[in-house]
Every structure is written in C-alpha cells, then in structure tokens.
Structure 1
Amino acid sequence: MEFQWINESTVTERDDVISIFAPEHTDFFCNSGAEAEEGDAVPDSLCNAPFYYTEVEGDFVLRVKVSHDFKQTYDSCSIMVFKDLTHWAKACFELTDFGTRAMVSVVTKGVSDDANGPNVDADAVWLQMCRKGDAFAFHYALDGEHFYMMRFFTLDAGKVAKVGLLAQAPTGKGGERRYEHLSIEHRTVANIRMGGVISVLGNRDTAACCEDGVPRGSFPCGTPSRCYSREVSVMLRGYHELFTMA
C-alpha cells in the first residue's frame, strides 16, 4: 500500500508497527458553534491533525490495533475515512472529558457530531472500519477477534476514498500514537453491522451449518448464524428467532 499525508508529521515503521507523532493542539473536528459554560471546553474547529492515508476504491475492511499514553483530554489513536474537509468520519480510542478511556466516533457532514461509546479499561484495542457502498460501520475489539459495533452511518465518500490513520492531541502537548498489524482488505462484507468477522455471540456472516461444518442452508442477506446441532439460532433485525433445518 502506498501512503500519503494530509498534515504531514513524523512516522516510523518497524516490525508491523507504525508510530505517528501527534503535535500539540491537533484535531479533526468541525464545531457547530456550541460552547461550554463549565467543565472542559467543547472541541475547537480544527483540521490539522496528521492523517496518514491510502486511497481505496470500493468496499473494504480496515483493521488495526491502537495504543497511546492517554495524557491529555481528547488524546486519541484514530482511523478515518475522508472525502474532503467537511465530509469525513473517524473512530477513536480516546481519553474523554469524563476522564475515561472510551470508544468515540465522529461523523462530519458540514458539521461534526460527537458520540461517546463504551468505556474500555485497556491500554490497547483493535479498531475496524467496513465499507459497503455509502454505508460504513466502526467496530472495536479487545482481542482482535470478538468485535462490537460502535457506529453505523452513511457517508458520500466517493468511489475512491482516503482511508487511514489519524493521530490527534487537541488539548495537550502531543505524543506518539501506535498502530500495529494494519490490514486493508478489498472485500464486501455480507452484514456490515457484524463486520464480516466473529461477533460477540460467536456468529459469522456465513451460511448456517451443522456440527460437522457441512452447509445446510443460508439466510437472506447473509444473516449471521450459529450452529446448534440441527437447530440454528439466528439474530435477525435485533430479535432471536429459531429455525429448524430440514
């Protein structure tokens, strides 16, 4: 993969580890004009954080393990999909203004929203981004296998999107951001909410099978399934329904 910069910084690559320096007071955020009367400030409008990206055409799955020192509010290792300065989205492992380490996502269509997800008591997590047409999903995992969805959204990113690693330090002095085992696969997942990988229920976006792994049938739109002898428990539109295989 060939990588380029928006807001170039220093980068080192060694043994499947990419380290990017986040300079002080750097971020990607388009504030709507909101202000805070107390507590930490609402993030400023900034588009100056280092973004180390490659161009990807069509559908894909990006996955990477991230870690950093969590020194100042909003410090983050992030992944981002970018069309232009007012159309982009990022998933972050961030030190929040509540003093927690959390999975945070921001989707920008002119102005940015800001969605704090689950708090995570860990030094490192895996981040994942899936694209299917104009639909995107962010996922996270502690072990690189059992992924949780943290955000589903649509974005007009164009046929070829800029996709990669974002290192930010909006309020502090900056520091190193660490990215390990980066992979970008050119493929279309069957179920973008599940991410095409093992889910927290142990399901996959594949056809149903019996105990010996022999396919016995499939479900609409690649609905995730899990084998229980000749019965299959299927998660479909948020409900559990029981199917008996012929």
Structure 2
Amino acid sequence: MSAAVFARQDGVWLNEPERWTTAQDDSLEIVTDQATDFWQKTHYGFHRDSGHFLGFRTAEAFTAELRVQCDFRELYDQAGIMVRVDAEHWVKAGIEFSDGRAMLSSVLTNGQSDWATAPYEHDAGDFRMRVTIAGGVLRLQASADGKIWPLVRLAPFTTAQSYRVGPMACTPERGGLPVTFTRFSLKPPLGKDLHDLS
C-alpha cells in the first residue's frame, strides 16, 4: 500500500475548497463550498465542473482505494472517489444523499453523464471505495469494512496514458459539508477475478 499519498507533492486541486487541511496520519479534511457539483448535460441540460477534487497522477493501469467519513444530510450531498481525464471524461463514485436517504452512487461521464444509484445497507457515514482501471475497463467496488468488496459497476472507460484519481466531494444545493478522507492508496491494478470479493 502506498504510504502518505496525501503528503505527495503531485496532488492537484480542481476547485480547491476554501477550507481544507491534511494531517500527519495521512488524512484529508475538507468543508465543501456553496453549490459545487460535477455533471454534464443529461436530463438537466447543464454543465457543472465546480466540485472539489484532489487528483494524483496514475499510470495507465492502477487500483486506488479510499475511506470516506461524512454525515450526509441534504439533497445531493456527496463524497467519494473520482477518476478524471478531462471535463467530459470522468467517473465519480461514493455516497450521495437522494430520495431521503444515503445512496451508493456512481456517475460515468463520456461527453454526457449517466447516474446509477442503489440503497446502501451499511453505515453510510463511514465507507470505502475502490476503483481499478486496466485495458480500457473500469471496475468500481465498495466496502463497509475494508475486507469485503462487492462490485458496484463494471464499464468501458476512456483509455489514457495516465489519469488523475483522488477524493471528491460536492454539495450542489448548499455548502458547509465536512468530509474526512483516509486510507488513500494508489498501486498497480489488483488483477483479481471479477467475483473475488477480497
């Protein structure tokens, strides 16, 4: 596991929040700014690229993991992990507050955004996300304990020589959401069987 990823000097903010800090234990704490979001066109018709994202450069194939702690309360409050090529080619995945509850959520954008949600049956205030990209394929997994990693999504994804990956948070309807990110790791792709939940 990569050590102290948040301490690396190659992390680049997209829409750096007004309030954020890193700590010796390799944690990142942010508070979201007002009306922040990532979305491209679908259904609503608007283009939004104002969400908070701290991206670290990857190789062309990788696995990244991240722990997220947050108290989701308002419509569209969201936090998790993001992989980004540019403003029209990215994925974000984590928990998003929708329809009165915290939902496991992923948005895959290739010119236009889609949105997939499902009820999250564990503690939405403390969860983990894993993303693997290799050979033009994206694999998303979520975990409540860091040991068992069910599949969230498998999809084709834009191929690139490198990507940016890291923590993401947005509050489209408000500001002031505190989020803590820990246990961020970035390593070569796991290469595990699709139904290997470890």
Superposition TM-score tier, normalisation by shorter sequence:
0.7 to 0.9
Letter in 1 for 2:26: D
TM-score with structure 1 setting the length = 0.71
1:11 counterpart = 2:20: yes
Structure 1 window deviating more from structure 2 (67-76 vs 46-55): it is 67-76
- Distance in 1, matches of 2:155 and 2:26, equals 30
Give SS of 2:191's match.
coil
Q: Is the 8 A contact 1:131 1:188 kept in 2?
A: no
Q: Is the 8 A contact 1:94 1:101 kept in 2?
A: yes
Give SS of 1:23's match.
coil
Moved over 6 A (4+): none
Q: Is the 8 A contact 2:135 2:159 kept in 1?
A: no
Q: Deviations over 1:23-66 (max 9, x none)?
A: 1110111122x25xxxxxxx953110111011101211111110
TM-score with structure 2 setting the length = 0.87
| Identity value in percent | 24
Show the 5 A alignment for 1:149-168: 149-168=151-170
1:110 counterpart = 2:111: yes
Q: Is the 8 A contact 1:6 1:51 kept in 2?
A: yes
- Structure 1 gaps of 5+ residues are 36-42, 199-246
Letter in 2 for 1:164: G
Q: Is the 8 A contact 2:83 2:165 kept in 1?
A: yes
Q: Is the 8 A contact 2:69 2:181 kept in 1?
A: yes
1:20 counterpart = 2:30: yes
The offset of 1:197, in angstroms, is 5.3
Q: Is the 8 A contact 1:88 1:157 kept in 2?
A: no
The offset of 1:190, in angstroms, is 3.5
Show the 5 A alignment for 1:1-246: 1=8, 2-9=10-17, 10-14=19-23, 15-32=25-42, 34-35=43-44, 44-96=46-98, 98-122=99-123, 123-191=125-193, 193-194=194-195, 198=198
Greater radius of gyration (CA): 1
Letter in 1 for 2:119: P
- Distance in 2, matches of 1:137 and 1:29, equals 20
Q: Is the 8 A contact 1:139 1:149 kept in 2?
A: yes
Q: Deviations over 1:159-201 (max 9, x none)?
A: 111111111101122322111111111234143x34x651xxx
The offset of 1:120, in angstroms, is 3.0
- Distance in 2, matches of 1:157 and 1:112, equals 17
Q: Is the 8 A contact 2:81 2:168 kept in 1?
A: yes
CA RMSD of aligned residues (A): 1.8
Q: Is the 8 A contact 1:13 1:19 kept in 2?
A: yes
- Distance in 1, matches of 2:159 and 2:181, equals 24
- Distance in 1, matches of 2:178 and 2:48, equals 19
| Number of residues of Structure 1 aligned to a counterpart in Structure 2 | 187
